[in-house]
Structure 1
Amino acid sequence: MKQSTTTYTKRVNARRAGVAAGIPTERVAITVHKNGDEVRFGWKESATPVKSEKVTTSSKSPKVEQEERNGVKRPKAGGVCADVWAWLDAHPDATLKDAKAQGEKRGWNPNNVSCEFYARRKFYGISRQTEAK
């Protein structure tokens, strides 16, 4: 088995030197040499292929497509915007004044209520002002 007599400042350089010496990449084992605060790397040939360290990550959840109409995306469930939209869906004849009054009761930002009110109207393609009762 071959082993390096020189050390390198980086792991990749040590691995590269091992491969240059004719050892297959999977059989190059990196050695660590510590001297005080200095760390240097060497290489040696291993008898069996060295298993690379694989980091296991959780699988990504599938991306849920947001519904989009008229260039406006419906907000994701769980947020304040979705709460405003849910209230507006339950009260389709509500005016901005009604929505802002409900927003004060529920602690919603009045500017956010206004933005969501008009975004929802655009989403559903409502372009005319609603009749006051």
Structure 2
Amino acid sequence: MELNQVTVPALDVAKSVAFYQQLGLRLLVDAGPRYARLECPDGEATFSIHQVPELPQGPGVTVYFEHEQLDEWVAELQRLGVVFDELPTDQSWLWREARLRDPAGNQLILFYGGENRKNPPWRL
């Protein structure tokens, strides 16, 4: 089994598409204003945005995007005007993470876990 795609909710799909394109995703399907699907620049995973009449309540969705040059990526995104809630920080679970929200309020974590992503010292 392989993860194909993740879908996040949005009130304004076009605004969210523009945001994710800033992160480096490429538009594959534009069925606006209700739906769009993008692909990650590396690997086979896709990412979609689906228009909803209202956003879910509570903590909602958290999506992780990994990049080996995390600090440089974050600095480039800041130059493009992307606002972060938390800049890259080393975490106790051995990942380096930066946090932000997309235009719909979905939480994104840009991170680098390297070998520890799938093989932390406490792996079963």
TM-score by length of 2: 0.27
TM-score by length of 1: 0.26
The structure where helix makes up a greater share of residues is 1
Q: Which has the higher contact order (CA 8 A, sep 6+)?
A: 2
Based on CA coordinates, which of the two structures has the bigger radius of gyration? 1
The structure where strand makes up a greater share of residues is 2
